[in-house]
């Protein structure tokens, strides 16, 4: 009953979005308010319907309704409730259902928020969003029906994929990531509306900046959460493998970041408008490419959902979206002509433009590397691999250049400056950078990569610090405020700038943490007999015993635990395990991670011999890893600070509008 | 509103190559990797069988052979292909020589598998150091190589064998049941 | 105070650069056999995992390959020969880095084209650019202006 209702909700949702698209198009041309209201209501209804469908699926999962094929494949009677609920997005059809929920949610939010504003743009925004969500409803109605039934009904299900029921982050990473992905449809819709109505002035840019930053925050958080999760679960001690689906999440993030920077130039200088539009289109198309790569089976990945006919649908969606958007952009090119010339060569604009070139360079490299195997096979029939060594070698120099630019940008004023003024600003930061490099070298860091990144990060931090100090100092002088209050007031009066600074601080932290953890880690593998010890860094691990027993939370899973004693900066009992899941032919490693401020102790059980009583363990000391996650959080916080509504500014704008 | 038809040609110029790339990509299976051994003499190997006898691939010369890599933990694929192998041994009899090679498995595990799913009449070679699987470029069990009478590898099949595949490959070798 | 800050900073940077250059030009110690093996293992793809290298992977197949790498290097093969050995058995696919030069040239060309495009676009718009103002006031005056602007923010 419930699954049938779920399917019905999807079908009606499809009708609702198709109606909404038509009504928005009609209303857009005629201006009829009634038609437009009905279109909006249809979109709200679509959101309600897909929410019902999700509820139906969650209920089916919780009640282990194995008449539904999706439940039979991804759930079992012993699956804990938490993992049953989050199995909603664990596999192909469910993930599309979840995606549609978020997409219609964003659309409803935007349409509601602007229901009485921007009357020229909103019908076209609505039409674009309605068409986009209609596509996902169509996928669920035909090739990807989550509520397909199966007969005969089994007594037991397959259970979730072993890797997806190992760690609670399964409940965090996909929602954050999908919120980011689906949110990128909003700026795209505004971009299309601006092109269609030829209102390509700064009005749409001001709206779009906020609606890009919010999904950007989610995307950043989602990517970092994904890296953290794979680090904690996969057992190889790393957090980023340039896997095709990791790349798929990174690509729209890169173009969105480029857009955030170029839109500042477009807003202030009226230039780069074509480029900014192109970036908005590229970001959305790349989110579609991302879903295509994950679901089509075209590339091999940890994430690959089962191969299915859905791939062809997504391929069509990508081609149609790209074709229409590109065509529209080319058609309206005359409206997008630059109104003012670019600034001087030494200016913040030029730094932002260079930043864009570099970001797009990384985007191209990552896209090229991900699709290279497909390209090679399509042309020569041979199989090729492109792995982490290639991506690291190609992207590292570009990222280093970007880090350098992060320090240069804030020191350059808008419009232009002379070399003298600019170089003067860099004197102290350069000295600080060199000083830190020398100090780190003296303290024992001999590798080039962490030294270089430390120096650059210091340079960037001191440039920004200098800006803050100058501003606070003049404020303190002119108003007599104490220094800390001056900084606070300055920050809250210039949220965009200071939010940006905070985000850049987060980037510096991440850069240093990544450079250090990638080069200065140590690892050791050993097969231990009972009572034997392994020494690594300042820790000693002693192997006590092997325990095999079913998991308390899911008795179908048999866990073989190697219990060890830890001595060192942290001490006490520690256990690492291999778990045998009924639906997996190989045992899944469940590594244990002990995090401290300076380093992570990471232990994986590689194998064991019950009769001999030995255990083979691999131990890593990964320095500064927690700062990667902390840095990511700082970046997200910085962006949040930047878009936080400024009550004073709002009051001023309202006063101005009232007088007008 | 004039439509710039000439400039709009950029759209198909961008979209069509992308379409070709995406759809040819969809038509291929990224897990199927062509073997560089095809058309070359089969890599020679020696080893001990489950029974303890010595086995050499040189013994296979003169007649077509099938080298089947498997393991007791490879479930359900190896379980699925086991009856196909038993059937093939029965129907083609002396015409083709079967050899099983274990991939990262223990003799006890293998014996357990055979006791459960059916004893075999052909030698099962222990591959304790993994050298034979490396020589054949095996990515994981089950994988099967078809070798002709001259000792040249003619085909590789990744995944469990099916009756259709067996019939096709052995027909290509000129064998009938 | 600030007047001599820039020359000192530049001098410090140049000194550091010189040190780095000396370090780089010094004949590097030959990598130990273990390091060599680790490097080769890092370039090969683990046959039964997703995108991990043989060095990182924990599977038995990867362990077997690592053993063979160590054996072959000890027997005198060069890293190139060891890689070729595995390519002969698994195909090009086993290498994590594609051998085709296109794989390197195309992204490099893309970045260079991007920078070139930027430069060209900039040139094109230069005709109407107003000349950059040289600083007419000293630092003290500029700081005073900054203070007064802050005061205006009422």
d(CA A291, CA C56): 28
Which of the four pLDDT bands, split at 50, 70 and 90, describes residue A133? very high
Which chain C residues are Cβ-neighbours of B139 within 8 angstroms?
Answer: 47-48, 61, 90
**pLDDT tens digit string along C37-86?**
888 999 999 988 877 899 888 788 888 999 999 999 999 888 999 999 99
**pLDDT tens digit string along A345-358?**
788 888 898 999 99
Measured between CA atoms, the residue of chain C closest to residue A236 is C56
d(CA C9, CA A533): 50
CB contact under 8 A, C68 and B131: yes
Share of chain A above pLDDT 70, in %: 95
Average pLDDT over residues A547-552: 89
Strands (DSSP E) along B71-162, which ranges?
A: 97-102, 124-125, 143-147, 153-158
What does the block give as tokens for B96? 């083709």
CA distance C64 to chain B (A): 6
pLDDT at B123: 92
Nearest to A312 among B21, B26, B30 (CB): B26
Average pLDDT over residues A159-185: 88
What does the block give as tokens for A144? 């990807």
pLDDT at B102: 93
Average pLDDT over residues B159-169: 88
Nearest to C64 among B34, B35, B129 (CB): B129
Note the pTM of the prediction, 2 decimals: 0.90
Tell me the C-alpha to C-alpha distance, in Å, between residue A379 and each of A372, A384, A557, B29: 11, 12, 45, 15
Please indicate if any CB of chain A lies within 8 Å of the CB of B21: yes
Nearest to B129 by CA among A7, A385, C68, A233: C68
Number of H-type helices and E-type strands within chain A: 20, 9
Which chain C residues are Cβ-neighbours of B140 within 8 angstroms?
Answer: 47-48, 61
> Residues 6 or more apart from A340 whose CB is under 8 A from it?
A269, A270, A271
What does the block give as tokens for C144? 């005073």
- Please measure the distance between the N-terminal and C-terminal CA atoms of chain B and give it in whole angstroms: 74
Say yes or no to pLDDT of A499 above 50: yes
Q: Which of A44-48, A504-508, A568-572 shows the lowest per-residue confidence on average (mean pLDDT)?
A: A568-572
Angle at A64 between CA A62 and CA A65, to 5 degrees: 115
The most confident of the ranges A110-119, A217-226, A302-311, A563-572 is A217-226
Average pLDDT over residues C133-154: 65
Which chain A residues are Cβ-neighbours of C118 within 8 angstroms?
Answer: 353-354, 357
Share of chain A above pLDDT 90, in %: 56
Nearest to A65 by CA among A82, A84, A46: A84
d(CA A237, CA A522): 10
Nearest to A596 by CA among A541, A635, A638, A539: A539
- Identify the residue with better confidence: C134 or A207: A207
Tell me the C-alpha to C-alpha distance, in Å, between residue A71 and each of A64, A96, A139, A152, A208: 7, 15, 19, 14, 39
What does the block give as tokens for A99? 């995606």
Give the number of beta-carbon pairs within 8 Å between A and B: 76
Helix (H) or strand (E) holding A575: strand A572-580
Nearest to C90 by CA among B38, B41, A377: B38
- Cβ-count burial A326-335 (b if 16+ within 10 Å, e if not): bbbbbbbeee
CA distance B174 to chain C (A): 27
Q: What is the ipTM of this complex?
A: 0.82
d(CA B162, CA B160): 6
pLDDT at A104: 97
Work out the number of other CB atoms within 10 angstroms of the CB of residue A524: 14
**pLDDT tens digit string along A455-496?**
999 999 999 999 888 888 888 888 877 778 888 888 888 888
d(CA C66, CA A82): 40
d(CA A219, CA A187): 14
Q: Which residue's structure tokens are 């006031």?
A: C137
- Cβ-count burial A110-142 (b if 16+ within 10 Å, e if not): bbeebeeebeebbbbbbbbbbbbbbbbbbbbbe
Say yes or no to pLDDT of C1 above 60: no
What does the block give as tokens for A521? 């880690």
The shares of helix, strand and coil residues in chain C, as percent rounded to the nearest 5, are: 70, 5, 30
d(CA C58, CA C49): 9
pLDDT at A597: 87
pLDDT at B98: 92
Measured between CA atoms, the residue of chain C closest to residue A456 is C13
Which chain C residues are Cβ-neighbours of B133 within 8 angstroms?
Answer: 61, 64
């Amino acid at each position: 009953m419930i699954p049938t209702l779920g399917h019905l909700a999807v079908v009606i949702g499809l009708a609702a979005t198709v109606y909404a698209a038509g009504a928005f198009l009609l209303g857009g041309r005629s201006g009829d308010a009634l038609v437009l209201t009905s279109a909006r209501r249809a979109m709200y209804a679509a959101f309600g319907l897909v929410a019902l469908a999700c509820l139906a699926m969650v209920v089916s999962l919780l009640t282990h309704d194995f008449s539904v094929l999706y439940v039979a494949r991804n759930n079992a009677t012993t699956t804990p409730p938490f993992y049953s609920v989050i199995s909603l997005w664990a596999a192909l059809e469910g993930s599309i259902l979840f995606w549609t929920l978020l997409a219609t949610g964003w659309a409803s939010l935007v349409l509601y928020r602007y229901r009485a504003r921007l009357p020229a743009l909103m019908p076209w925004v609505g039409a674009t969003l309605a068409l986009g969500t209609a596509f996902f409803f169509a996928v669920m109605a035909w090739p990807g029906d989550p509520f397909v039934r199966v007969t005969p009904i089994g007594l037991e299900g397959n259970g979730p994929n072993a890797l997806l029921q190992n760690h609670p982050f399964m409940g965090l990473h996909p929602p954050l990531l999908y919120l980011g992905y689906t949110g990128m449809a909003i700026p795209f819709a505004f971009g299309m509306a601006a092109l269609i109505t030829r209102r390509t002035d700064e009005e749409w840019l001001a709206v779009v900046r906020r609606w890009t930053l919010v999904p950007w925050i989610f995307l950043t958080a989602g990517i970092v959460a994904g890296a953290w999760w794979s680090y904690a679960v996969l057992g190889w001690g790393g957090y980023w493998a340039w896997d095709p689906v990791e790349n798929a999440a990174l690509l729209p993030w890169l173009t969105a970041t480029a857009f955030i920077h170029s839109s500042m130039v477009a807003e202030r200088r009226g230039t780069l408008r074509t480029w900014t539009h192109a970036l908005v289109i590229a970001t959305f198309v790349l989110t579609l490419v991302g879903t295509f790569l994950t679901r089509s089976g075209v590339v091999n990945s940890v994430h690959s959902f089962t191969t299915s006919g859905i791939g062809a649908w997504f391929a069509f969606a990508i081609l149609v979206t790209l074709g229409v958007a590109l065509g529209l952009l080319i058609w309206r090119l005359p409206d997008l002509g630059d109104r003012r010339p670019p600034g001087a060569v030494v200016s913040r604009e030029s730094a932002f433009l260079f930043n864009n070139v570099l970001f797009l360079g990384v985007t191209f490299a990552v896209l090229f590397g991900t699709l290279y195997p497909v390209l090679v096979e399509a042309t020569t029939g041979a199989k090729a691999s492109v792995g982490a060594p290639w991506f690291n070698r190609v992207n590292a120099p570009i990222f280093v250049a970007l880090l350098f630019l992060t320090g240069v940008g804030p020191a350059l004023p808008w419009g232009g400056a002379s070399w003298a003024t600019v170089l003067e600003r860099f004197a102290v930061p350069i000295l600080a950078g060199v000083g830190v490099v020398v100090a780190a070298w003296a303290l024992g860091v001999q590798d080039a990569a962490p030294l270089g990144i430390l120096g650059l990060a210091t340079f960037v931090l001191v440039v920004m610090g200098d800006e803050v100090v100058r501003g606070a100092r003049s404020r303190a002088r002119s108003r007599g405020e104490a220094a800390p209050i001056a900084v606070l007031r300055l920050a809250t009066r210039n949220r965009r700038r200071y939010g940006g600074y905070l985000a850049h601080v987060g980037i510096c932290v991440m850069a240093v943490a990544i450079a250090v953890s990638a080069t200065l880690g140590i690892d050791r593998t050993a097969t231990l007999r009972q009572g034997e010890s392994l020494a690594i860094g300042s820790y000693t691990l002693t192997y006590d015993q092997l325990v095999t027993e079913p998991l308390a939370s899911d008795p179908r899973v048999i866990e073989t635990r190697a219990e060890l004693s830890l001595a060192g900066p942290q001490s006490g009992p520690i256990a690492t395990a291999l778990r045998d899941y009924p639906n997996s032919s190989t045992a899944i490693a469940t590594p244990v991670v002990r995090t401290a401020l300076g380093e992570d102790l990471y232990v994986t059980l590689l194998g064991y011999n019950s009769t001999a009583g030995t255990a083979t363990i691999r131990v890593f000391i990964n320095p500064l890893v927690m700062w990667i996650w902390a840095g990511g959080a700082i970046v997200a916080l910085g962006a949040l600070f930047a878009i936080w509504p400024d009550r004073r500014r709002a009051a001023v704008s309202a006063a101005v509008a009232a007088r007008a | 509103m004039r439509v710039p038809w000439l400039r709009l040609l950029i759209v198909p110029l961008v979209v069509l190559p992308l379409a070709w790339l995406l759809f040819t990509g969809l038509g291929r299976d990224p897990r199927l990797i062509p073997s560089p051994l095809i058309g070359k003499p089969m890599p020679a190997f020696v080893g001990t069988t489950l029974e303890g006898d010595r086995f050499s691939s040189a013994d296979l010369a003169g007649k077509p052979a099938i080298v089947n890599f498997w393991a007791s933990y490879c479930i359900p694929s190896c379980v699925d292909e086991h009856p196909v192998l038993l059937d093939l041994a029965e129907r083609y009899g002396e015409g083709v020589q079967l050899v099983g090679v274990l991939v990262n498995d223990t003799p006890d595990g293998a014996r357990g598998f055979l006791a459960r799913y059916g004893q075999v009449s052909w030698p099962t070679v222990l591959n304790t150091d993994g050298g034979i699987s490396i020589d054949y470029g095996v990515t994981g069990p089950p994988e099967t190589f078809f070798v002709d009478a001259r000792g040249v590898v003619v085909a590789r099949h990744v995944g469990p064998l099916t009756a259709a595949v067996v019939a096709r490959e052995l027909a290509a070798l000129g064998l009938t049941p | 105070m600030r007047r001599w800050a820039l020359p000192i900073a530049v001098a410090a940077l140049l000194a550091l650069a010189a040190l780095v250059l000396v370090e780089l030009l010094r004949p590097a110690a030959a990598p130990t056999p273990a390091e060599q093996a680790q490097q080769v293992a890092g370039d090969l793809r683990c046959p039964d995992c997703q995108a991990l290298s043989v060095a990182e992977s924990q599977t038995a197949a990867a362990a077997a390959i690592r053993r063979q790498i160590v054996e072959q290097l000890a027997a005198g093969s060069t890293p190139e020969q060891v890689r070729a050995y595995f390519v002969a058995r698994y195909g090009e696919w086993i290498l994590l880095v594609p051998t085709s030069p296109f794989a390197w040239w195309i992204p490099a060309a893309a970045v260079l084209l991007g920078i070139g495009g930027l430069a060209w676009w900039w040139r094109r718009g230069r005709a109407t650019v107003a000349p950059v103002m040289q600083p007419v006031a000293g630092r003290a005056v500029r700081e005073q202006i900054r203070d007064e602007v802050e005061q205006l923010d009422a």
